[in-house]
Amino acid sequence: MKVLLLENIHPVAVEVLEARGFEVELRAGSLSEEELLEALPGVQLLGIRSNTHITRAVLDGAPDLLAIGCFCIGTNQVDLVSAADRGIAVFNAPFSNTRSVVELVIGEIIALARRLTEKTHKMHDGVWDKSANGSHEVRGRTLGIVGYGNIGTQLSNLAEALGLRVIFFDTADRLAHGNAQRMRTLDELLAKADVVSLHVDGRPGNAGFFGEEQFAKMKPRSIFINAARGMVVDNESLRDHILSGHIAGAALDVFPVEPKAQGDEFQSVLRGLPNVILTPHVGGSTQEAQEEIGYFVAGKLAGFSLEGRTELSVNLPAVLAPAHVAGHRIGFLHINVPGVLAGVNGVLADAGANVTGQYLSTRAEQGYVVTDTLDPLPADALAKLTESEHTIWLRTWDA
């Protein structure tokens, strides 16, 4: 099988995949829709990060594609519904770089509270500005976390260790860590927080989530951080509130439009502002995180294509099947209607199959069943399953 990895994915992913027998092509930058349409025929597995967008048109032009690995946390760059309709599994790394993102945010909170960006710029310009004006300790101040998922909760733990009081808001029912307190509304959080840090996902409904109304409700001279998604924030409004002095400082690692390749010019209305930290989407870009992501996602891609395992897939039914070490395995992805599983087991029984294990799950309009048998099924039995009106795909593996 052929694998295409884009956007400087860590070399450990290549090692993992080549060790499992895959042919791997590694490219440095992202590809446009047109470039993807040229590159994907003949490719079974695709690895991307956040800057390559997989649209319905791309999927229509990739008849050989079995799975997509997002070597990052987010998956909003992939049309997940269209991928699921085609039976293409999508995997990501929801936990591997959380610590790296959290450490960046902690560093930014301290740097902004101490106005280190302005101090270092003046020093580079030869100006000795030894003043405590506008500089504060973070101890005793209130951090408001918007989005209390994997990153938000870990940020909560480290922030408390530094002496920050933590409050949070999330639309989901989340368990508070340590002494953190849930706020009933976003407005309640904005009124109390000295620092607001966004950690929401990239679902379409979050576009423009934080704009003029929200910035106006933040405490005077508070700090704003966005290490979530660029499309979530109205940067024009943020610029206005920084220039007016209402917001004392900001740090952003993500932007609505980001350069495609290393060295391309970065454009933003926030360039050149004092006490503003701009970083090129490097929240998860530590050697430790990228190595762990490379190992994790490459393993998921290999497990799916070689053994039919879909655990932690973000768009197909997640079946946690054991490693395939003996016998014959059948993976059957189908439309989720009553009677399909009974039909599958009827075919197995008629074929006299000795079933050694069966694992199944459903998700929305799809069902997935993995069946292990002692011996391969006869061709006519496989044909019955393949030709069913409910079949999306059927694959077999021999140990």
65, 59 Cβ separation under 8 angstroms: yes
Query: Which residue in 24, 17, 20, 19 sits closest to 3, CA to CA?
Result: 24
314, 90 Cβ separation under 8 angstroms: yes
Active site residue 229: yes
- What whole-number distance in Å separates Cα of residue 327 and Cα of residue 305? 17
202, 188 Cβ separation under 8 angstroms: no
Active site residue 188: no
261, 229 Cβ separation under 8 angstroms: no
- What whole-number distance in Å separates Cα of residue 116 and Cα of residue 25? 42
Active site residue 328: no
- What whole-number distance in Å separates Cα of residue 372 and Cα of residue 161? 49
- What whole-number distance in Å separates Cα of residue 169 and Cα of residue 385? 48
Q: What angle do CA 141, 145, 147 make, to 5 degrees?
A: 175
- What whole-number distance in Å separates Cα of residue 365 and Cα of residue 355? 26
232, 186 Cβ separation under 8 angstroms: no
| Bridge partners (DSSP) listed for residue 181 | 167
Q: Which CA distances in Å does 253 have to 40, 77, 104?
A: 30, 17, 9
Active-site pick, 10, 141, 165, 229: 229
- What whole-number distance in Å separates Cα of residue 283 and Cα of residue 102? 8
Q: Which two tokens stand for residue 206?
A: 């979050």
Three-state DSSP state, 91? strand
Active-site pick, 15, 188, 258, 291: 258
Q: How many CB atoms lie within 10 A of CB 337?
A: 10
Active-site pick, 281, 324, 329, 334: 281
Q: Which two tokens stand for residue 91?
A: 């995997």
Residues marked active site are found at 229, 258, 281
